[in-house]
Amino acid sequence: MFPARRFFRWLLRQEVISLNNIIYDSPRLVIETKDILLPNGKERKYLFVQPVEAVCILPTDEEYVYLIRQYRAVIDSYILEVVAGGMDKEGESKEDAARRELAEEARMQAEEIIPRGFVYSSPGFCTEKLWLFEARGLSPCEDLEMDEDEIIEQVKVRKEDVFSLIASGEISDAKTIALLTRVLNQ
């Protein structure tokens, strides 16, 4: 092997060196820039958005999935999506966060919360990890206080109609498509 090729392979195995510059820091979100020296010797500036981890929950029964239609100010529109929320309560487990969000947003409780893995929401610039859960054995629960910015309607969808709603664009939320696919392709 040529010495230059051996050196280049060694260089590619080296760890990336970075310098952090936090430009925004709050309990739910950190935004920072990193000047990274890549293994090929070039430098590049990256912007990282680091929100708290979140849970996504899909309530199901034999025939239906239960989604919510929620107003999202960022896109100035209502969107059909799964129940979801941040894991921002101190010491709360993923499953407990899933149960809390299910009660708050869907007004349901579940006998069984089944982990379905995780997805990254947008790994090109964001570190957010979304933990996916299916909820079974559903029953209504007491009305809880919703966040004042949440305008939510529950939507019951036949399992057999889900993929046509995705294909038509009526369901266009990435986390929702990921969780529906994981659950319905089991």
DSSP per-residue codes, 45-86: EEEEEEEPPEEEEEEB-SSEEEEEEEEETTTTEEEEE-EEEE
Residue 40 CA to residue 120 CA, distance in Å, equals 27
Residues with catalytic annotation?
A: 148
Q: What is the DSSP letter of 159?
A: G
Q: Closest Cα to residue 86, out of 104, 71, 68, 74?
A: 104
Residues 159, 165, 75: CA angle, nearest 5 degrees: 125
Backbone angles phi, psi at 181, to 5 degrees: -65, -45
Q: Which residue has the tokens 């936090």?
A: 22
129-140 and 54-59 beta bridge pairing: parallel
Tokens linked to 153: 């309607």
